[in-house]
Structure 1
Amino acid sequence: MTSEEKEQVSRLYARGNELVRRQEFSLAEREFLEAVKMAPKNALLHHSLGLVYVHLGDMQAALHYFNEAVALDPRQFKSFYALGKIYAGQNNVEKSAAAFRKAIELSPGNRDAYHDLAKVYYSNQRWEDALNVLLESESILGDSPETLTLIGITSLRSGRTDVVIEIITQLKSKGELERARNLETALRQVRSGRG
C-alpha cells in the first residue's frame, strides 16, 4: 500500500468516525466500506463497520465484520465484546459466553464483560454459572450494594445459602438494611419451600 493509499484510508476512517459521531450511519457505512476495500486486512476498519451495522440493525452483517476483525487480530477485545452482546441478543448462550470469556481474557479488568457474561447465564437460568462469574469478578465489580444483592439473589437461585448469609451480613454492615431484609425474606421462603 502506497503512502497516498494509507492517507486515503486514514481520511475515510476519520470521516466514517465523524459520521458515526453524528449518527449518520448509512453515510459512515460507505466510508468504512471504501476503507475496507483499500485495506482489507485492517481489523479496526472491520470492527468499525461492525459497529455501524449494529446501529443500522443488520446483526448478520455486524457479526460478519466483528468475526473478520477477530480473525485478523485475535486481540480485538472490543470485537469479542460486541460479538458477545449480539449473540446474547440472539439467545445463543454458548457463543455469547465464549465471546465474553475471550473479551475477559483480553481485558481482565473490564467490568462490563463480566457483568454481561453473568447476565447471559442468569437470564438463561444457569444460576451456578452466573454465580461463579460474579464471585470470580467480585474484586473487579466491587462490593457495591447492587453487586452484593445480585450475588445474593443468584446464590439463592443456585442453592448456595452459605453465600446468601454472607451477603446479608455484608449488606447489613454497609447499612443496606432493606436489601438485607429482602434477601432474608427470600431465604426464609426458600427454606420453607415457598421460594
Structure 2
Amino acid sequence: CSAVTGSGRKLKDNAADWHNLILRWEKLNNEGSGVAEKIVDQRLKRSPGEAAAPPPGSAPPNPGRPLEQACSELVGVVSKMASIVAKMERLASSERGVLELETFQRGAAGRGGPLFHSWPTQLFVEQSAGLLQCYQKELALKQRVLQELAHTGPQDLCMVYLSCWLHQPYIPADSRLALEALLLETGHRAL
C-alpha cells in the first residue's frame, strides 16, 4: 500500500476534516436545541399576569436572569457554529486551490485519472461547495432564530423556531450521503 501524497493527501485530509467538522456541528446543534428549549420555557414562564408578588421583606427575584443566561449560552453555541462554517469555507477554498493547481500544471484537461477510486478533482470541489452552501444557509437560519427566539410572543412561533433549530431544514439528508461518498472515495470508509 503506497502512501498518498500531494493533491491526494490534501483531499484525503480535507475529507477527514469535513467529517470532524460535521460531527462537531451535530453536537453543537443538539446542545443548542436544549438551550433553545430552555429559552422557550423561560419565555413561557414570563408570560404577563403570571408573576406573583415577592414575599414582604425579601428582595424581588430577577425573573429575567435564567433567560439571559440561556440566551448567552445560545450565543456561544452559534458563535462556535460560525467558527465551524469558517473552517468549512477554508476547506472548500483549499479544494478549489488543488483544482486550480492541477489545471495550471496539466492544462484544462486536468489529471489523466482519478486520485482515488473514481472521482476527478472537480467532483471533490463540487461536493465541498454543496456541503458548504448547506451549512452556510443553516448558520444564517440559526443566527435568525437566536435573534428572534427570546423576543417572540406567540407560543406557536416559538415552536416553529425550535423545530427549525432541531430539524435543520437547510441540511438535507443527501448532504449526509455526500459526506459518506467523500469518505468512501478517499478510503476513510471501507467499500
TM-score bracket, shorter-length normalisation: under 0.3
- Between structure 1 and structure 2, the one with the greater Rg is 2
- State the TM-score, normalized to the length of structure 2: 0.24
Higher helix share: 1
- State the TM-score, normalized to the length of structure 1: 0.23
Greater length-normalized contact order (CA 8 Å, ≥ 6 residues apart): 2
